[in-house]
Amino acid sequence: MAMVQNTTRITGMISGMDTDLLVKGMMISQQLKLDRLSVQKTRSEWKRDTITDFNSQIRQFVDNFGSVIGKTSMMQKGSYMNFNTEMAKNTTAFTVKGVPGAQPGSHSLRVDQVATAATARSMARVTGTIGGHLNDADFSKSINQLKSEGLIDSGLFTVGGSDQISFTLNGKDFTFSGNDSLTKVMDTINKSDIGAAMNYSQITDTFTFTGTKTGAGANDLEFGSPEQEQNFLEFFGFAGIDVGQNAIVSINGGQTREFAANSFTLDGLEINLNRATGGETFEFTITKNTQAAVDNIKAFVEEFNKLVKTFYEAFHEKKNYDFRPLTEDQKQDMTEKEIEEWDKNARAGLMARDNRLGTMLNEMRRLIGENMGGAGNLASIGITTSGYKAGEVWELVIDEEKLSKALETNADGVFNILGASDRAAGGGGFVSRVSKAMEAYVASTKSADLQNLTTSINDYNRKITEQENKMFTMSEKYYVQYAKMESALSEMQSQTNQLMGLFGMQQQQQQQR
């Protein structure tokens, strides 16, 4: 790190000496001390950044594969048991897919009735005109304006001869009048979080008001009083409130079964109902799909191998003692590419033989051969290693045929070996155990290495500041001393000039005589 001088000086006018060069030479030993501090600080920063980067890579790996909510989670049992659904005839009445527990083979489904919630419907068309309906622009007009223009039935939106209504529904208070637009009325209700929704259909020219809870007898529309409920129905022109009903289906030709919701799982079939099939039975076939699980496991192994390679190479990397971090002065004479190449060599071996890194690598390798709670080890499902050779990085290798067969015949076993939680009997699967080993490394570096490095960096910053201040004080002292020397030389020069002048005058007088 170069010594910074903010003062512009004009020196050596009398002596002819290059004072800046002389002072710089006198400060060489101090500059070397400053450079050493700068190098030590840079090394500490590099190591801190390397450990932080390792921790970030581990965190991303664990979040993706070792968490049940990860986007490529290995901890979800369903990801090991995938199924294909093939419909004999397409339909929009329902969707179905296999989930863990599904039996591959032929199935059938008939939907006699879908589950509904409590619903109120208009008794007649809102416009009162067959084929007529409200346009989007009409909803921004007030109710009174719509009536004056003859766009809606004059009997709507009145109760007891008044165009105003107030009621409490599911704990929320509402007040509307003829001056309100339909948009305001519907938005106020639909955005009130009461678990109900009001909609208008241009096809039927009617309003519907629907609760949330489905199933037989369901009615989650609770008014402040029976009178308020009656006023509500009269104001909006509803005939009454129909309570909810169950969904009724027949699966695989058996007796009809009822469900309170339109989405349910039965015998490993996840079914979502949209409408009744009108008495028609639809057939479909469920088959196992092991490829999706194989692809997910391959993605895990690929990322695992990348981490092993990164950590292994960092642990075994040799230090290059011919290179050390550059000072600012040294960088001034180099190109960006030269600096980049130099730094790459200077960074070599930062994590060489690091105890914490070595402990994690040993644990990751040990877990590969471990029996996962009696379910077996990785090799039993076709996952082995490339072998261990001195100086060569090892990695996991997949026998896809063996893995596919294991998934086909015993997907539960594959899950127990790979994805079982550490809270499961036997201590969990490989993913949770290796994630635990990685997280232990992260925790240890945060509590020790990173804290110590941060303390060291702060200490170096303090020492660098002190050294810079010391160098500034010393250089100022030297400049003052040289300035005094210049002043003395200037005075001597002046006296010499005076003497020379006197001698010149005397000589001139003698010549005149």
Is the per-residue pLDDT at 92 higher than 70? yes
Residue 35 — pLDDT band, cuts 50, 70, 90? very high
Nearest to 132 by CA among 157, 151, 106, 118: 151
Beta bridge partners of residue 87, listed in sequence order: 284
Residue 364 — pLDDT band, cuts 50, 70, 90? very high
210 and 305 co-located in one domain = no
Residue 20 — pLDDT band, cuts 50, 70, 90? confident
Is the per-residue pLDDT at 444 higher than 90? yes
Q: For all residues of the chain together, what is the average pLDDT?
A: 91
Is the per-residue pLDDT at 506 higher than 70? no
Instruction: Report pLDDT for 4.
Output: 45
Please name the amino acid found at residue 8. T
Indicate the range of 55-59, 280-284, 307-311, 372-376 predicted with least confidence. Answer: 372-376
Instruction: Report pLDDT for 134.
Output: 94
411 domain-assigned: yes
Query: Which whole number is the average pLDDT over 208-216?
Result: 94
224 and 159 co-located in one domain = yes
CA 45 to chain centre: 26
127 and 63 co-located in one domain = no
> In this prediction, what percent of the chain has a pLDDT beyond 70?
95
Token pair recorded at residue 434: 């290796």
Is the per-residue pLDDT at 7 higher than 60? no
218 and 317 co-located in one domain = no
211 domain-assigned: yes
Beta bridge partners of residue 263, listed in sequence order: 272
List pLDDT tens digits, range 385-413.
988 777 788 999 999 999 999 999 999 99
Nearest to 364 by CA among 299, 297, 417, 312: 312
484 domain-assigned: no
Q: Which residues contact 264 (CB under 8 A, 6 or more apart)?
A: 247, 270, 271
User: Which residue among 429, 448, 467 closes a domain?
Assistant: 448
Asked if 110 and 280 touch (Cβ cutoff 8 Å), the reply is yes
61 and 126 co-located in one domain = no
User: Which residue among 448, 468, 495 closes a domain?
Assistant: 448
Beta bridge partners of residue 396, listed in sequence order: 385
Instruction: Report pLDDT for 1.
Output: 44
199 and 129 co-located in one domain = yes
CATH of the domain at 176: 3.30.70
> In this prediction, what percent of the chain has a pLDDT beyond 90?
77
68 domain-assigned: yes
66 and 209 co-located in one domain = no
4 domain-assigned: no
Nearest to 364 by CA among 297, 425, 311, 299: 311
Q: How far apart are CA 397 and CA 381, in angstroms?
A: 11
196 and 301 co-located in one domain = no
Q: Of residues 95 and 6, which shows the higher confidence score?
A: 95
Q: How far apart are CA 151 and CA 128, in angstroms?
A: 8
Is the per-residue pLDDT at 3 higher than 60? no
300 and 422 co-located in one domain = yes
User: Which residue among 245, 273, 301 closes a domain?
Assistant: 245
Q: At what angle do helices 430-444 and 355-368 cross, to 10 degrees?
A: 170
List pLDDT tens digits, range 132-144.
899 999 999 999 9
Is the per-residue pLDDT at 198 higher than 70? yes
Instruction: Report pLDDT for 316.
Output: 95
State the total domains in the chain: 2
Instruction: Report pLDDT for 131.
Output: 75
Residue 9 — pLDDT band, cuts 50, 70, 90? low
Asked if 427 and 380 touch (Cβ cutoff 8 Å), the reply is no
Q: How far apart are CA 177 and CA 174, in angstroms?
A: 10
Widest pairwise Cα distance in the chain: 154
19 domain-assigned: no
297 and 225 co-located in one domain = no
Instruction: Report pLDDT for 12.
Output: 58
400 domain-assigned: yes
Q: How far apart are CA 209 and CA 121, in angstroms?
A: 7
211 and 306 co-located in one domain = no
Residue 497 — pLDDT band, cuts 50, 70, 90? confident
404 domain-assigned: yes
221-224: list long-range contacts, CB under 8 Å, 24+ apart.
221/118, 221/120, 221/169, 221/170, 221/196, 222/169, 222/170, 222/171, 223/167, 223/168, 223/169, 224/167, 224/168, 224/169
Question: Whole domain around residue 240: which residue ranges?
Answer: 117-245
312 and 216 co-located in one domain = no
Query: Which whole number is the average pLDDT over 485-502?
Result: 78
